[in-house]
Amino acid sequence: MAIHGFKDLNFASMVEYVILVNENDEPQGLMEKMEAHEKALLHRAFSVFLFDSEGRMLIHQRAMERPTWKRPHAG
């Protein structure tokens, strides 16, 4: 699969980065996601909320294999 000019990407081995921000959501730099979590640094993130036609919210539970926040329900 080619994405942005790359071939044969292995998503499992890709390093994820987050945008570090201050208390006013002003970008302060980039850091590997795991390092930012280990140091409990403020970074940008997002959540997605899905509702069905009856107004019920879809909730999923994270896998035990995840490196962080194993098993909690997440939105």
Average pLDDT of the residues in 48-75: 77
60, part of any domain:
yes
- Say whether pLDDT at 65 is over 90: no
3, part of any domain:
no
Q: Which domain holds residue 31?
A: 12-74
63 pLDDT band, cuts 50/70/90, is confident
Q: Contact 30/44 with Cβ under 8 angstroms?
A: no
66, part of any domain:
yes
Question: How much is the pTM?
Answer: 0.61
DSSP class of residue 3 equals: E
Q: What is the DSSP string of 9-75?
A: --GGGPPPEEEEE-TT--EEEEEEHHHHHHTT--B-------B-TTSPBP-EE--TTSSSS-S-EE-
